[in-house]
Amino acid sequence: MQKLMNMNTQKLIDTAIAMVAGDKGLLAIDESNPTCNKRFAKLGIPQTIDARRNYRELILTTPDLGKYISGVILYDETIRQQKKDGTPFVKIIIDAGIIPGIKVDTGAKDMAGYPGEKITEGLDGLRLRLAEYSQMGARFAKWRAVIAIDAIGGDGIPSRACIEANAHALARYSSLCQEAGLVPVVEPEVLMGGTHTIEQCQKVTEEVLRTVFNQLFIQRVILKGMILKPNMVLSGLNCSKQASVDEVALATVESLLLTVPAAVPGITFLSGGQPCELASARLNAMNIRFKSQLPWALSFSFARAIQQPALEIWQGKDENILMAQKALSHLARCNLAARRGEYSAEMEMEMEKI
């Protein structure tokens, strides 16, 4: 049994390292059906299973995607789907040299007793679902917790109860993942919405991360076999004073150094609704200034910050697929450059030529 556990541990570690190797990052295409449908509706795209399948095929068949992307996070519907020619999506991903992953939480729901706060659900039956996803080819999983900030502070948001409950769920999910041989991507997201300052965001982010890692320790999660997917430390979207790119880079790295153990192999930031160019510029600034001083890789696990322009170009029309794929590939390449500290505004100008 001990030998089996050691083999499983090494597999987890090797996968986690591969997920942040080569200056690549993760691409999240794990939007739930309702969320995907909302984005389609805004662009007049039919909200159907066929349209969602066509869109995911567009993404996964983008030429040379594996040059920039190390892993793709799928949704339950998507991991079961195939190309029009019958090739399973998982095979396409693996053949491209990309690691398949899967979102396993069932969404954030209102937290009883704490108006305005959410708790992520999905632990019931998770062991069996993880075993199924592993058999289907997934090598990592993702669970997202959301933490809101009330800048005024009148409602005490975030409460300790919300932070503790979500941290505990993240840790239990992580332990179950590692038991199943899947690397857990741990995503505690302090939300951008609100009027809070960057200083308030930094304080909450540090509290959340300390609590998460305390719970991970209690649940005996192997830190070398996990990936952290946090928010960047930002001013609230409606804050009157927006922090600069360099201020975001400094505050974010300071928070991580104070809370994230060196054993964690990589940190893959969520985009959280940031504009594409800002998400890349902020990641770039962190790597320019701090890359050589940090114990873990700073990478990306973006969804909209890579997908959105491609979706807007595609608009559900086959004749737009090639142009949409070019836009997707371009943004993936921009973020690989940001990991190297080589991103520039000139790269964004190339996007306008597509």
Measured between alpha carbons, how far apart are the two ends of the chain, in Å?
55
Catalytic residues: 187, 229
pLDDT at 154 over 90: no
* Among the listed residues 273, 162, 142, the one whose alpha carbon sits nearest the alpha carbon of residue 211: 162
pLDDT at 200 over 90: yes
Three-state secondary structure call for residue 350: helix
The pLDDT tens digits for 34-54 are 999 999 999 999 999 999 999
Domain that holds residue 210: 2-353
As to burial, measured by CB atoms within 10 angstroms (0-12 exposed, 13-18 middle, 19+ buried), residue 24 is: buried
Distance separating alpha carbons of residues 27 and 70, to the nearest angstrom: 8
**pLDDT level of residue 8 (50, 70, 90 thresholds):** confident
**pLDDT level of residue 156 (50, 70, 90 thresholds):** confident
Average the pLDDT over 99-116 and give the result: 97
Distance separating alpha carbons of residues 25 and 346, to the nearest angstrom: 21
pLDDT at 351: 59
The pLDDT tens digits for 70-103 are 999 999 999 999 999 999 999 999 999 999 999 9
pLDDT at 145: 98
Q: What percent of the chain has pLDDT over 70?
A: 95
Is the sign of the CA dihedral 98, 101, 107, 111 positive or negative? negative
pLDDT at 1: 40
pLDDT at 155: 65
CB 233 within 8 A of CB 274: no
State the total domains in the chain: 1
pLDDT at 151: 57
pLDDT at 348 over 90: no
Three-state secondary structure call for residue 190: strand
The pLDDT tens digits for 258-284 are 999 999 999 999 999 899 999 999 999
Distance separating alpha carbons of residues 229 and 10, to the nearest angstrom: 21
- Mean pLDDT score of the chain: 95
pLDDT at 345: 78
Is the sign of the CA dihedral 104, 89, 280, 278 positive or negative? negative
CATH of residue 172: 3.20.20.70
pLDDT at 152: 55
The pLDDT tens digits for 287-336 are 999 999 999 999 999 999 999 999 999 999 999 999 999 999 999 999 99
